[in-house]
Structure 1
Amino acid sequence: MTGYAIVLASEEFERVQAVSMIGSVAASSDVPVEVFVTMNGLNAFEKDTVENLDFEGGRVAEAMLAAEDQQSPLFTEQLEKAKAIGPLSVYACEMAMDVLGNDLDDYVDVFDDTLGVSGFLNRAQDKQIIFV
């Protein structure tokens, strides 16, 4: 196997943040990563949600978002930096976007493109798949 394919189907802040951390560490180590954001995972990437820091989450999310010094960069910033230094791609699920009536303009600018499930599985065929 060469790399990771991460399926993010949750809008929970801790999960989204974990995907960005795992993906960025792998990509900075030159390990290819494909992230597929689907179902409720897309909610965390909506522009209004990110601008207002209006995320779903538990105690860790509350602590991280309340910290004035933001010890860890927000997942959007972390993904952007990782894409600049290593092999990381982020895709939005076409089907979930259709159901929500959204297009890429409704989301922060971290997505490389949209994909359907079959397109993602084609890209993930030689990678270890991780579901979050």
Structure 2
Amino acid sequence: MINYFSKYKFIFYLCNLILLLEYLYPGSLLGCIIFNNCTIQPQLTSDFIISTNHFYSFFILSVVGFLTYIKANQIIYLSIYLIFLSFLLEIMHYIIPNRSFEYPDLFGNLAGVILPIVVRLIFKKNENFKN
């Protein structure tokens, strides 16, 4: 599985493109496709403290990114990129029509990035401990 993603980096780039289109579209792109109504946002699960849709989006992007880039220096740059992207895309909602900046969305973005980072660090530390 890891070799598959590292050989085909276009999967990570495609996930980035889809995320950018989804976030920068004025209104709900998924609502336009699924419900034929751009004002309705599909909700996968109910929100708790953070926006679950945002969490799922960034979690998938982060996991695909960590499976694509394996080297330690690439992981550092990828982590910085994903955290920066989560802030930037949510801040862009200030200027995009029919979108609004919300802290639960921002925290969902960050949680979707930070959870895979923490899990990867735990696995890496466990791997080093075994050796």
TM-score bracket for the superposition, by shorter chain length: under 0.3
Structure number with the higher strand fraction is 1
More relative contact order, 1 or 2 (CA 8 Å, 6+ apart): 1
